[in-house]
A and B are shown apart, each in its own frame.
Chain A
Amino acid sequence: MKSAEGRGRTLDEAVDAALIILGESRRNVDIKVLNEGPEETLVEVTVIDHAATSTEMPAADGKGETARSLVEGLLKHMGIRAQVTARPGSEPLTLDISGRDLGALIGWRGETLRALQSVTNVMVGKHLAEGERIIVDVERYRQRREHTVREIALRAARQVKMTGDAITLDAMQAFERRAIHLALEGDPEVTSSSIGEDPERRVVVGLRKPAAE
């Protein structure tokens, strides 16, 4: 598979740099953040081989193929024309739905996508091990949101370090809050915590208090 590394001040800039090298669009790539710092972000961008994905998956992973065909059938009944592929090597198993005009499938703040994921997990449940789940993504919406909120987290962290004041971010879903906590957990200067109640729960980024000696 073709891949390239990209560097930039922000995650978007780093991804764009790699995409220029590869001559690809965001839709066809998988993005892995190798290093994310206040000054520079390093990413590895890999081109997804859709043909290989759709032909290899049935033999490689029966569970993936079962889930893929169930979702494909469900979308067909919904009158939605889209391609469903199991993301290779994804853990947890991730199904990517791609096609044209799939905004309705994402819904308000990703609500319809989330509902589709719940239905998928219920349908495939008996094939899954205890605690195992399937993630459903439409046009990489979830992945893009994670990248966006991580970018927001790093920007907030920079500002907190400069001003010393805590910043309360917008209300976010659990997977987005998790992405923020993970993005900042390695930063020795700032800390993140959540306040409020779902679905208005927000992450607060503040200065880390020095450990008591």
Chain B
Amino acid sequence: MSRTQDAVTKASANVKMKTRDVNVFYDANQAIRDVNLDITERSVTALIGPSGCGKSTYLRALNRMNDTIDSCRVEGSILLDGEDIYGKGVDPVEVRRRVGMVFQKSNPFPKSVFENVAFGLRIGGEKDKFVIAQRVEESLKGAALWDEVKDRLQSSALGLSGGQQQRLCIARCLAVWPEVILMDEPASALDPIATAKIEELIRELRERYTIVIVTHSMQQAARVSDFTAFFYMGALVEHGKTQTMFTRPAKKRTEEYISGRFG
């Protein structure tokens, strides 16, 4: 665990995202209640909790993906490097360039492997073929996928295996150089070997990115994260270093959930 602790000490200096009194509503239903949470730079924060506890909703509030849902309303402030991403005049498109997202179900575009990764660059206005090719290679390497796809960059991304598709989605996200990466149960649809690869990748990515991951698997949270936040019924129950949370949780509910007594 020493590496994890190193990361914690190294990172504790910097808060990348700060959420204050965040409430999220779907019409009249409140999905998230008064969540205050600091997300530390260059670390992995795991959001855990039983199904329907609001952790995915909270995650999607962090890059304004909830804006795409008509009935959804977000209150409170979410600061990215001290600036409110819900502030007046803030372009959600700009927020999403800085805060990337990997979804639960891998969702490659029905395009070639290369074009999937290049997409974010092209829409960002990058025209230089050389720059694009270089960034695609770099991103695929960053997602530990390069060796498997370097000979089939022009074939359809839909021909890749499930695990490869998910790593392609991570590569696609890396290509636009985000600062924060949100992952919504990224390994829940994968077999154990593919899951292990994704987890290894998350640990590597932590060196350069701030990662927030929603997971159903307690073991996964313990394996990959530096910090853990436990959500229950839309509220943040407890938040702290993963090691502490899993060995000496402060709240009874947390202990019950982690030890598998409910959830």
Verify that A and B bind, or say they do not: no
A residues adjacent to B (C-beta < 8 A): none
B→A interface (CB under 8 Å): none
